[in-house]
Amino acid sequence: MKMNNLLENVPAIHVPEYLNMEISGICYDSRKISPGDVFVAIRGFETDGHKYIEAAVKAGAACVVCERSPDIRAPYALVEDSRAALALMSAVWFGYPARKLKIVGVTGTNGKTTVTSLLKCVIEQCTKAKVGLIGTSGNMIGEQHIPAIHTTPESFEMQKLLAMMVDAGCTYAIMEVSSHALVLDRVRGIEFEVGVYTNLSQDHLDFHGTMEAYAEAKSKLFALSKHSVINIDDAYASVMLEKAAGSVFSYAIDNDSADLVGKNVKQLSDRIYFCALMIGSLVRFELPIPGLFSVYNALAVVSSAFLLGLDIKQISEALPMCEGVKGRAEVVSAPADFTIIIDYAHTPDALEKIISAVRDGAQGKVITLFGCGGDRDSTKRPLMGEMAAKHSDFVVVTSDNPRTEAPGAIISDIIKGVQQTKTPYEVIENRKEAIFWTLESAKPGDVVILAGKGHEDYQIIGKDKIRFDEREVVAEYFEKYKT
């Protein structure tokens, strides 16, 4: 492809007329350059791609796209924003795959993974269409699973995935859209058929700084969406509504003015029942995932599916057939007279939701085991400690993914919040030992929540990523001590 064609939609400051050379690929990592590639110099968190222009040219880059003139002689195009340029060039390179798909983007602090997975299932059940999915727990092209590194991939990988979906016969793509992705232009140039907002609670303030900036980042999705689906029970809904460029469809439980309202909620230990009121009609729904938050997730799914043209009755018949997501209110099969639930909750709000969700079905105590990630927002640690202790009968504080921080220091931050309550607690730094101790301590009728890891099958300690799947840990405990 000719370089000038790649730049056809890119806001540029200076593009020399001679930039009509043939390009063999696009690359933004100088270590992966192949001869004939265009190197896009983007500014990252840890380093600036402009520092590696010389290395890229020596490796065979035919041209450079950058925000400032390079220090060496080389063909280059000067652009306003190289991240945006990467996204727009990638769309051209892969033949605008997003235009050949109906794309639904889901943003919010909690619920993204569940909503995207359930919506994929509902669409498949109702239409028999092939659906692609991009998200935290992996990317899927129909039933083919592709591991994920980021919740929302970098724009080049994003466009490549969308192109693979088109080639495989997908007609829909459902994706989680993180606040990082929106700020860093990873979805630039994609028009979303439907954009969905779930909720906002404290997370990622190490990146955004304030809740207001975090909300503003999330709201960018709705400027890119043909239809916006908004949870108007949420405190930050007005920020999202203000940015909505297309039509708006609202859902709620506590606000009867919403377009779709959840009514008559009945919670059991393993599922929920509710009615949805829309345009004067009342439709019954069932979802095999416990908790009030599951009603909100289901309402987001129903709203999105309806806007995609699916029949509401068909949606109600499909939803009970959709399984829960691994690591989201996941009940672990074990030879025990108490319940074990694995959940990804890693924010104060998510922790409160999962504990509250299981409390109604618990015959005994609710015991919550959790930790907090290192090298991430430290201000939420005492908040999570207080939230867990406030809603649980007993708390076990342990390690999560400490990364390069000392686990003991992270735990100390958590304990400050736990000690704001009178709830008894235990500190066991080693997560495997903590799980063993908790399972040994549980009594008949109790509910044990292992929070924070969810779908993850690893721990990051220092710079090392080690195998750690809580399902395997639970199985090992019962095999060692209860057989």
Which amino acid is residue 73, in one-letter code?
A: R
Give pLDDT, residue 483: 63
Nearest alpha-carbon partner for 185 in 83, 105, 89? 83
Locate all alpha helices (DSSP H) within 53-172, ordered by sequence: 53-58, 82-93, 112-127, 155-167
Q: Give the torsion sign (CA, 256, 262, 267, 273).
A: positive
Give pLDDT, residue 460: 96
- Only one residue has tokens 């350059």, namely 33
- Which tens digit of pLDDT belongs to each residue from 111-159? 899 999 999 999 999 999 999 999 887 899 999 998 776 667 899 999 9
| Cβ-contact 12, 79 below 8 angstroms | yes
- Which tens digit of pLDDT belongs to each residue from 299-322? 999 999 999 999 999 999 999 999
pTM value surpassing 0.85? no
Q: Give the torsion sign (CA, 452, 290, 123, 109).
A: negative
Which amino acid is residue 395, in one-letter code?
A: V
Give pLDDT, residue 221: 96
User: Cα–Cα distance between 304 and 115 in angstroms, integer?
Assistant: 10
Nearest alpha-carbon partner for 305 in 293, 318, 292? 318
329 is written with which tokens?
């209110």
449 is written with which tokens?
């929540």
Give pLDDT, residue 15: 84
User: Cα–Cα distance between 412 and 276 in angstroms, integer?
Assistant: 44
DSSP notation for 35-68:
TTEEEE--B-SS-BGGGGHHHHHHTT-SEEEESS
Which amino acid is residue 240, in one-letter code?
A: M
| Cβ-contact 260, 334 below 8 angstroms | no
pLDDT digit string (tens) for the chain, length 483 residues: 999 899 989 988 888 877 889 999 999 999 999 999 999 999 876 789 999 999 999 999 999 999 999 989 899 999 999 999 999 999 999 999 999 999 999 999 888 999 999 999 999 999 999 999 998 878 999 999 987 766 678 999 999 999 999 999 999 999 999 988 898 899 999 999 999 999 988 665 666 568 889 899 999 999 999 999 999 999 999 999 999 999 999 999 999 999 999 999 988 767 889 999 987 789 999 998 877 888 999 999 999 999 999 999 999 999 999 987 888 888 888 999 998 999 999 889 889 989 988 887 788 999 999 999 999 989 999 999 999 999 999 999 999 999 999 999 999 999 999 999 999 999 999 999 999 999 999 999 899 999 999 989 999 999 999 999 999 999 999 999 876
- Residue 271: other Cβ atoms inside 10 A: 17
> How far, rounded to the nearest angstrom, does the alpha carbon of residue 413 sit from its chain's CA centroid?
25
Reduced to 3 states (helix: H, G, I; strand: E, B; else coil), residue 290 is coil
User: Cα–Cα distance between 459 and 457 in angstroms, integer?
Assistant: 7
The region that residue 165 occupies, defined by phi over 0 for left and psi between -120 and 50 for alpha, beta otherwise, is: alpha
Give pLDDT, residue 439: 97
Residues with Cβ < 8 Å from 355, sequence gap 6 or more?
366, 368, 387, 388, 391, 392, 449
User: Cα–Cα distance between 426 and 367 in angstroms, integer?
Assistant: 11
314 is written with which tokens?
């068909």
HSE at residue 281, side-chain half, CA atoms within 13 A, is 8
Give pLDDT, residue 110: 86
- Only one residue has tokens 């704001």, namely 420
49, β-bridge pairs = none
Nearest alpha-carbon partner for 233 in 304, 297, 328, 282? 297
128, β-bridge pairs = none
| Cβ-contact 21, 62 below 8 angstroms | yes
DSSP class of residue 110 equals S
398 is written with which tokens?
């342990």
- Quote the mean pLDDT of the chain: 92
- Only one residue has tokens 């999330």, namely 218
436 is written with which tokens?
């063993």
Nearest alpha-carbon partner for 327 in 446, 457, 433? 457
- Only one residue has tokens 């959940």, namely 343
User: Cα–Cα distance between 432 and 191 in angstroms, integer?
Assistant: 45
Give pLDDT, residue 329: 84
User: Cα–Cα distance between 54 and 71 in angstroms, integer?
Assistant: 8
Helix axes 155-167 and 82-93, enclosed angle (nearest 10)? 20
DSSP class of residue 321 equals G
- Residue 177: other Cβ atoms inside 10 A: 30
User: Cα–Cα distance between 210 and 205 in angstroms, integer?
Assistant: 6
205 is written with which tokens?
């303030």
26, β-bridge pairs = 38
